[in-house]
């Protein structure tokens, strides 16, 4: 304060410079490895890109043709997009509910709580990268399976299906049960981080609050809605965004596979860029809508 | 039953009568609640662990045990052959070393870049700070897949520059091209780096500012303050970000395939994803059978998954605290 306005300014500008120096690596990386590919990806999505060994990359401007192709010509993309959006919505809602329930469970005192917490967090470590669905999603294995069945003339899954078909209604019931268990498994595997975030939020609520509510004659159900939920609700946004991004980034969804296929197998870079931008726009819209809805809800409780 | 206990028990019934059955109802309620809770917790934990247990049991079986319907979990013919075959097919010694090296190197680079950026965002005021922080959020939100075609072409461009032959399919010498990926990591653009910057920033913000002021009064430079005063304080978050980064790099295929030379340098994740293919070539060249039975392929893949996951499990067992507690410390603060 005694240095006067001039001295203050130099200190401030020196601090500003230091701040810039600290984030400089990030700025460089962002411009070179994020903005640049983003721009070239947008350009590619507006072009027909062809690759050849002699001339390298050649681009021909086609306007929005790639986008209109995706929506109007491509036979499967619309359907895939709708499917994925529905899956995204149900999956993220289910994740929120289940991870919140598990956090409530883990917030109680019982023996082996730390172990249970560690197990619920295990999928964050183990279900990443290649370890996700290597058995089920391996197209090579599926191909091999068909090959084996052709060459041997023995078709196990077909035999099983006819057997189950014979039992009529049992099959659809079995399907429902099977899908349900599968869905719960998928959700639990994807909610490690969310559980911990909710749990830590729950642990910040002082016990005295519940005790006061109990003295005032509120039931456990009421204190859940009047105390627990309002305090936790800001975390809903964090978790929702995280869940959507996480879902969006998984390589095992149909759209990601299609983008990958267009790029690496059909070498159609323009179309694959257009597809990824459409998908990205959808995800951003989902994040926007859900945080809007939740923040409305949060305001309501405050 | 000792006298004391009988007394206690009769006391219970006495008290129960006095409370008009309230005590009994309450304790039954509590007991039922804890049984229900135990069931749910056990069931959900089992759901998570079961695939791992399943893989462990399959990995020790001989192939004929797979087709024996009387064998359910415990293998009858114990063998380690699956492990030796899977590690042979994955070039375990080489790929383990490479994976460990690259994971270590990229994690260190990433954490340096993220710690710098996190500190910059937490403690300094500078023009356009909000904009740059929005860029961090953007990095978190934009999945690498969206720009992957552009990145891939970028990679090809590297290809065309010095090391050709990718399109012609010949053996490629991509020795120099680990560099682009290291560049990405050193500038905070690696796998999930936006998240680390965000987490580290949160942590720095929770450290009292008076610490730096004291260092400033004592004449410590800005960089010196960061290195000598702030970094030691931030060890927990740095360790846990490092662990996350290490673990995720270990299993990553996306960045590894895109940026790292995988043709002659082996990485565990890439070898694992190609395990079925290499098993088929192995079987067809060695035994003259066109393709191995599907059950056997699954068995070898399960073994491979276990081999890749084992070091991670080990790290997790010992460093569980770092993983979980920093998430809970940084997650709740908006």
> Which positions in chain B touch A123 (Cβ < 8 Å)?
48
User: What residues contact A232, with CB distance under 8 A and at least 6 apart?
Assistant: A100, A198, A201, A202
Nearest CA among B125, B47, B90 for reference residue A182? B47
Q: Determine, yes or no, domain membership for A218.
A: no
A166 confidence band (pLDDT: 50, 70, 90): low
pLDDT tens digit sequence for A198-253: 888 888 888 898 889 989 888 888 888 888 888 888 888 888 888 888 887 776 67
Tell me the average pLDDT of chain B. 80
Lowest mean pLDDT among A49-63, A275-289, B185-199, B212-226: A49-63
Q: Determine, yes or no, domain membership for A225.
A: no
Same domain, B34 and B128: no
The domain in which residue B251 lies consists of 82-331
As a whole-number percent, the residues of chain B with pLDDT over 90 amount to 12
The domain in which residue A34 lies consists of 1-40
B245 has pLDDT over 70:
yes
Lowest mean pLDDT among A3-17, B46-60, B214-228, B307-321: A3-17
Same domain, B109 and B15: no
B128 has pLDDT over 70:
yes
pLDDT at B119: 93
DSSP assignment of B110-141: HHHHHHHHHHHHHH---TTHHHHHHHHHHHHH
pLDDT at A160: 55
pLDDT tens digit sequence for B30-83: 889 889 988 988 988 888 888 888 888 888 888 777 777 677 777 788 888 889
Instruction: Give the pLDDT mean for A164-192.
Output: 71
Are residues A196 and B324, on separate chains, in Cβ contact within 8 Å?
A: yes
- Of the two residues B55 and A302, the one the predictor is more confident about is B55
Q: Determine, yes or no, domain membership for B61.
A: no
Q: Determine, yes or no, domain membership for B63.
A: no
Long-range contacts of the stretch B81-89 (C-beta < 8 A, 24+): B82/B299, B82/B300, B82/B303, B83/B59, B83/B303, B83/B307, B85/B279, B85/B282, B85/B300, B85/B303, B86/B275, B86/B300, B86/B303, B86/B304, B86/B307, B87/B307, B89/B271, B89/B275, B89/B278, B89/B279, B89/B282, B89/B300, B89/B304
pLDDT at A249: 75
> Which positions in chain A touch B308 (Cβ < 8 Å)?
130-131
**Cross-strand pairs, A59:** A49
Q: What is the DSSP letter of A47?
A: E
Q: Establish if B132 touches chain A: CB-CB under 8 angstroms.
A: yes
Q: Determine, yes or no, domain membership for A15.
A: yes
Lowest mean pLDDT among A6-20, A67-81, B118-132: A6-20
B100 confidence band (pLDDT: 50, 70, 90): very high
Cα-to-chain-centroid distance, residue B303: 19
Q: Determine, yes or no, domain membership for B118.
A: yes
pLDDT at A139: 46
Main-chain phi, psi angles of B61, to 5 degrees: -85, 155
Nearest CA among B154, B191, B255, B252 for reference residue A269? B154
* Closest by Cβ to A259, choosing from B145, B308, B320: B145
Are residues A22 and B37, on separate chains, in Cβ contact within 8 Å?
A: no
- Of the two residues B11 and A212, the one the predictor is more confident about is A212
pLDDT tens digit sequence for B178-191: 777 888 888 888 88
- Of the two residues B163 and B184, the one the predictor is more confident about is B184
From CA B334, how far away is CA A215, in angstroms rounded?
32
A155 confidence band (pLDDT: 50, 70, 90): very low
B114 confidence band (pLDDT: 50, 70, 90): very high
Are residues A20 and B117, on separate chains, in Cβ contact within 8 Å?
A: no
B274 confidence band (pLDDT: 50, 70, 90): confident
A277 has pLDDT over 60:
yes
Provide the angle, in degrees to the nearest 10, between the axes of the packed helices A4-30 and B179-186. Answer: 150
* Tokens encoding A65: 């043709």
Q: Determine, yes or no, domain membership for A27.
A: yes
How many C-beta atoms surround the C-beta of residue B282 within 10 A?
15
- Of the two residues A236 and B159, the one the predictor is more confident about is A236
DSSP assignment of A91-142: HHHHHHHHHHHHHHHHHS--TTHHHHHHHHHHHHHHSSGGGTTTTTS-HHHH
B203 has pLDDT over 90:
no
Q: Scan residues 199-258 of B and list those with Cβ closer than 8 Å to A.
A: 222, 226, 247-248, 250-254
B111 has pLDDT over 90:
yes
Q: Determine, yes or no, domain membership for B128.
A: yes
A164 has pLDDT over 80:
no
Q: Establish if B95 touches chain A: CB-CB under 8 angstroms.
A: no
Instruction: Give the pLDDT mean for A119-142.
Output: 68
Domain count, chain A: 1
Instruction: Give the pLDDT mean for B292-306.
Output: 84
- Of the two residues B211 and A252, the one the predictor is more confident about is B211
Q: Determine, yes or no, domain membership for B64.
A: no
Lowest mean pLDDT among A93-107, A181-195, B143-157, B259-273: B143-157
Strands A56-61 and A47-52: antiparallel
Instruction: Give the pLDDT mean for B192-199.
Output: 88
Nearest CA among A100, A290, A58 for reference residue A191? A100
Give the dihedral sign, CA A173/A177/A182/A187: positive
User: What residues contact B181, with CB distance under 8 A and at least 6 apart?
Assistant: B106, B190, B255, B259, B260
How many angstroms separate the most distant Cα atoms in chain A?
92
Same domain, B321 and B199: yes
Lowest mean pLDDT among B5-14, B85-94, B102-111, B225-234: B5-14
Instruction: Give the pLDDT mean for B214-237.
Output: 87
Tell me the average pLDDT of chain A. 78
Instruction: Give the pLDDT mean for B294-320.
Output: 87
pLDDT at A22: 92
Q: Determine, yes or no, domain membership for B140.
A: yes
Are residues B150 and A126, on separate chains, in Cβ contact within 8 Å?
A: no
With beta carbons less than 8 A apart as the criterion, state whether B95 and B307 touch.
no
User: What residues contact A65, with CB distance under 8 A and at least 6 apart?
Assistant: A48
> Which positions in chain B touch A191 (Cβ < 8 Å)?
none
Helix count and strand count (H, E) for chain A: 14, 2
Instruction: Give the pLDDT mean for B313-332.
Output: 80
Q: How many CB pairs under 8 A join A and B?
A: 255
Same domain, B203 and B326: yes
pLDDT at A174: 66
CATH number assigned to the domain comprising residue B275? 1.10.3720.10
* Closest by Cβ to A25, choosing from B45, B186, B334: B186
Instruction: Give the pLDDT mean for A108-113.
Output: 85
B309 has pLDDT over 70:
yes
Domain count, chain B: 2
Q: Which of B66, B149, B303 is the best mutation test for A, with the most CBs of A within 10 A?
A: B149
Same domain, B98 and B196: yes
* Closest by Cβ to B142, choosing from A22, A27, A280: A280
Instruction: Give the pLDDT mean for A126-149.
Output: 57
Q: Determine, yes or no, domain membership for B117.
A: yes
Same domain, B236 and B93: yes
pLDDT at A162: 58
Q: How far is A283 from chain B (nearest CA, A)?
A: 9
Which of the given ranges, B127-136, B188-197, B255-264, has the highest pLDDT on average?
B127-136
From CA A141, how far away is CA A40, in angstroms rounded?
36
A140 has pLDDT over 50:
no
Same domain, B22 and B110: no
Give the ipTM of the model, two decimals please.
0.79
As a residue count, chain A comes to 302
Q: Scan residues 162-181 of B and list those with Cβ closer than 8 Å to A.
A: 167-168
B89 has pLDDT over 70:
yes
Q: Determine, yes or no, domain membership for A121.
A: no
Q: Determine, yes or no, domain membership for B59.
A: no
């Amino acid at each position: 304060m005694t240095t006067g306005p001039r001295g203050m300014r130099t200190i401030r500008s020196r601090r500003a410079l230091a701040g810039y120096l600290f984030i400089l690596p990030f700025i460089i990386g962002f411009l070179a490895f994020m903005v640049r590919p983003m721009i070239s990806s947008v350009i590619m999505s507006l072009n027909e890109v062809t690759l050849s060994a002699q001339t390298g990359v050649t681009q021909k401007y086609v306007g929005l043709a790639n986008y209109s192709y995706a929506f109007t010509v491509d036979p499967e993309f619309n359907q895939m997009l709708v499917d994925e959006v529905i899956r995204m919505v149900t999956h993220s809602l289910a994740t929120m509910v289940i991870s919140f329930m598990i956090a409530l469970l883990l917030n109680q005192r019982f023996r082996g709580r730390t172990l249970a917490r560690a197990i619920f967090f295990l999928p964050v470590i183990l279900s990443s990268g290649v370890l996700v669905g290597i058995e089920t999603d391996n197209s090579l294995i599926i191909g091999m399976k068909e090959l084996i069945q052709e060459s041997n003339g023995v078709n196990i899954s077909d035999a099983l299906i006819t057997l189950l078909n014979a039992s009529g209604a049992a099959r659809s019931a079995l399907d429902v049960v099977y899908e349900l268990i599968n869905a719960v498994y998928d959700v639990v595997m994807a909610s490690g981080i969310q559980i911990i975030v909710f749990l830590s939020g729950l642990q910040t609520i002082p016990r005295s609050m519940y005790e006061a509510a109990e003295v005032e004659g509120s039931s456990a159900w009421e204190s859940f809605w009047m105390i627990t939920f309002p305090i936790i609700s800001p975390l809903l946004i964090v978790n929702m965004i995280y869940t959507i991004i996480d879902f969006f980034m998984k390589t095992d969804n149909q759209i990601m596979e299609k983008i990958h296929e267009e790029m690496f197998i059909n070498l159609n870079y323009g179309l694959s860029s257009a597809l990824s931008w459409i998908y990205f726009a959808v995800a951003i819209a989902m994040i926007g809508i859900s945080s809007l809805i939740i923040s409305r809800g949060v305001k309501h409780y405050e | 039953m000792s006298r004391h206990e009988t007394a206690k028990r009769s006391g219970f019934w006495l008290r129960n009568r006095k409370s008009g059955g309230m005590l009994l109802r309450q304790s039954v309620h509590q007991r039922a609640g804890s049984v229900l809770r135990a069931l749910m917790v056990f069931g959900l934990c089992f759901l998570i662990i079961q695939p791992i247990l399943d893989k462990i049991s399959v990995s020790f079986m001989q192939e004929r045990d797979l087709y024996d319907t009387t064998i359910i979990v415990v293998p009858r013919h114990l063998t380690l052959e699956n492990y030796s075959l899977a590690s042979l097919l994955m070039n375990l010694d080489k790929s383990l070393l490479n994976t460990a090296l690259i994971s270590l190197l990229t994690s260190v680079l990433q954490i340096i870049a993220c710690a710098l950026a996190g500190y910059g965002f937490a403690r300094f005021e500078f023009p356009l700070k909000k904009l740059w922080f929005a860029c961090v959020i953007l990095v978190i939100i934009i999945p690498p897949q969206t720009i992957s075609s552009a990145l891939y072409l970028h990679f090809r461009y590297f290809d065309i520059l010095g090391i050709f032959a990718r399109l012609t399919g010949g053996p490629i010498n991509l020795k120099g091209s680990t560099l682009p990926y290291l560049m990405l990591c050193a500038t905070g653009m690696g796998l999930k780096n936006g998240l680390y910057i965000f987490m580290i920033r949160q942590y720095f913000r929770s450290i009292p500012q008076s610490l730096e002021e004291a260092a400033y009064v004592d004449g410590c430079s800005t960089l010196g303050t960061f290195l000598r005063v702030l970094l030691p304080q931030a060890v927990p978050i740095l360790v846990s970000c490092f662990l996350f980064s290490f673990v995720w790099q270990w299993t990553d295929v996306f960045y590894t395939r895109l940026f790292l030379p995988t043709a002659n340098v082996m990485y565990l994740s890439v070898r694992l994803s190609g395990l079925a293919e290499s098993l088929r070539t192995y079987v067809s060249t060695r035994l003259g059978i066109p393709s191995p039975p599907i059950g056997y392929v699954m068995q070898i893949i399960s073994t491979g998954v276990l081999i890749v996951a084992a070091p991670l499990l080990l790290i997790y067992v010992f460093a569980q605290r770092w993983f979980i507690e920093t998430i809970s410390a940084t997650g709740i603060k908006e």
